């Protein structure tokens, strides 16, 4: 029987229909009426799943992005890429298990893949610190990226982290500097870079491997300057307001595509990537191959110019001049002694978002 293993209250109607469908399918007497009922329930289940997941709140999206069965970097390495050969170490301190990197083949392309790894069971998660990388992880990543640029190999970055590891040891070894160096050097690497947020995209931990020519995210992933819990703790001094913080952060794919923070949103299977790893991997592979074919046609100079312009345009706004008085002045006949209006009748600049 289907059980709500995700623990999501909003999925309860889906599991109820799944249980009903399983009961019908296991029926020993499948006459014409039973078969018709099975078809009807399947149709209703598909429509219900699409409707529920098409109207998720930002906080529900965060929970889906953290689903314990959601495919991770290791899954995509098996399902999307061929001949993966892992590379280890940062040549300074050690090998961070929270970031995996290595050579791979993607269709006809030879690439270097770099991605966060959270781990599946408790032992793996503790080893990977739930996907929170240390400075040596980011140093490992940039060393492999330099290698890719040297041999003109495209770089694929799979982002899935709640943030960089906040421990004292990480700070002592230069966590902030390691992330800053990565961002600076990635902006200048003369090879195509594609970054995809496959689950959580939290804070500087995501940005450490998040500067590229194309930034994409899966439909139910999130990408934010801070986690909802962290935002709640700072603003309300209490983590109980995480849901409200998630609403305010505008961290879902719909908002980020609208704001120009991400270039593309990759559609997930009905009910999320955790329900069908193979279909999600197929869609991710199709996207990566399509974009790589576009980027490899560009010269290194064009790549750098477009990459620079892309990030410079984020958060852009316009300053415009208007001759119309504010509403309260208009109501009073348009007369005002406010210094906001210049002597020639023009107002000072007002800002409008692009």
For 63-81, write each residue's pLDDT tens digit.
999 999 999 999 999 999 9
Residues 51 and 80 in one domain: no
pLDDT tier for residue 328 given thresholds of 50, 70 and 90: low
pLDDT > 50? residue 51: yes
Q: Is 47 within the bounds of a domain? A: yes
**Which of 151 and 350 is assigned the larger pLDDT?**
151
pLDDT tens by residue, 201-223:
998 999 999 999 999 999 999 99
Q: Report how far apart, in Å, the C-alpha atoms of 221 and of each of 58, 162, 267 are.
A: 10, 11, 10
Residues 262 and 119 in one domain: yes
Q: Is 325 within the bounds of a domain? A: no
**pLDDT, mean of residues 137-155:** 96
Residues 51 and 93 in one domain: no
Contacts of range 266-270, beta carbons closer than 8 Å, 24 or more positions apart? 266/196, 266/216, 266/217, 266/218, 266/219, 267/219, 268/218, 268/219, 268/220, 270/46, 270/49, 270/50, 270/53
Percentage of the chain lying above the pLDDT 70 cut: 88
Q: What angle do CA 204, 207, 212 make, to 5 degrees?
A: 170
Q: Is 83 within the bounds of a domain? A: yes
Residues 259 and 127 in one domain: yes
Q: Is 244 within the bounds of a domain? A: yes
Residues spanned by the domain of 20:
9-55
Residues 44 and 17 in one domain: yes
Residues 15 and 133 in one domain: no
The highest-confidence range among 1-10, 14-23, 194-203, 316-325, by mean pLDDT, is: 194-203
Q: Is 149 within the bounds of a domain? A: yes
Closest C-alpha to 353, from 311, 314, 310: 314
Residues 261 and 228 in one domain: yes
Write down the pLDDT at residue 316: 74
Residues 155 and 100 in one domain: yes
Q: CATH number of the domain that 167 lies in?
A: 3.90.226.10
Write down the pLDDT at residue 295: 96
Considering the entire predicted model, what is its pTM? 0.84
Number of folded domains in the chain? 2
Write down the pLDDT at residue 78: 95
Write down the pLDDT at residue 24: 84
Out of 312, 327, 346, pick the residue that ends a domain: 312
Residues 37 and 181 in one domain: no
Percentage of the chain lying above the pLDDT 90 cut: 71
Write down the pLDDT at residue 21: 87
Write down the pLDDT at residue 96: 92
Residues 194 and 295 in one domain: yes
Residues 21 and 126 in one domain: no
Cα four-point dihedral sign 154, 158, 159, 161: negative
Residues 193 and 45 in one domain: no
**pLDDT, mean of residues 217-236:** 94
Closest C-alpha to 120, from 130, 112, 134: 130
Out of 296, 312, 328, pick the residue that ends a domain: 312
pLDDT tens by residue, 93-109:
999 999 999 999 999 99
**Which of 8 and 296 is assigned the larger pLDDT?**
296
Q: Is 323 within the bounds of a domain? A: no
pLDDT > 60? residue 346: no
Query: Residue 170: CB partners within 8 Å, gap ≥ 6?
Result: 134, 135, 164
Q: What angle do CA 13, 18, 23 make, to 5 degrees?
A: 130
Q: Is 29 within the bounds of a domain? A: yes
Q: Is 211 within the bounds of a domain? A: yes
């Amino acid at each position: 029987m289907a059980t709500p293993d995700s623990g999501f209250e909003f999925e309860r109607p889906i599991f109820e229909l799944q249980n009903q469908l399983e009961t019908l399918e296991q029926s020993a007497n499948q006459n014409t009426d039973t078969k018709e009922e099975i078809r009807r329930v399947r149709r209703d289940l598909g429509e219900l799943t699409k409707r529920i997941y098409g109207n998720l709140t930002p906080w529900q999206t965060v929970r889906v992005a953290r689903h314990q069965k959601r495919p991770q970097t290791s899954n995509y390495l098996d399902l999307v890429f061929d001949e993966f050969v892992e590379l280890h170490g940062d040549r300074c301190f050690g090998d961070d298990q929270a970031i995996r990197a290595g050579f791979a083949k993607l269709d006809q392309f030879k690439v270097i893949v770099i991605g966060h790894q959270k781990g599946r069971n408790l032992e793996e998660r503790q080893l990977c610190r739930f996907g929170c990388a240390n400075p040596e992880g980011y140093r490992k990543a940039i060393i492999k990226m330099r290698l890719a640029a040297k041999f003109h190999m495209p770089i694929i970055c799979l982002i899935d982290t709640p943030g960089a590891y906040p421990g004292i040891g990480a700070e002592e070894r230069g966590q902030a500097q390691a992330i800053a160096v990565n961002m600076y050097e990635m902006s200048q690497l003369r090879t195509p870079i594609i970054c995809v947020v496959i689950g959580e995209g939290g804070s500087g931990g995501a940005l450490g491997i998040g500067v590229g020519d194309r930034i994409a995210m899966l439909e139910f992933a999130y990408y934010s300057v801070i986690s909802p819990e962290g935002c709640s703790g700072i603003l309300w001094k209490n983590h109980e307001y995480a849901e409200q913080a998630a609403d305010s952060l505008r961290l879902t794919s719909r908002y980020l595509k609208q704001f120009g923070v991400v270039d593309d949103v990759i559609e997930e299977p009905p009910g999320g990537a955790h329900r069908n790893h193979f279909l999600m991997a197929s869609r991710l592979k199709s996207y990566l191959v399509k974009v790589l074919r576009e980027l490899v046609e560009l010269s290194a100079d064009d790549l750098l110019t477009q990459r620079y312009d892309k990030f410079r345009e984020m958060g852009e706004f316009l300053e415009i001049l208007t001759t119309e008085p504010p509403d309260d002045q208009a109501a009073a006949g348009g007369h005002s002694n406010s210094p906001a209006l210049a002597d020639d009748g023009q107002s000072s600049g007002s800002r409008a978002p692009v």
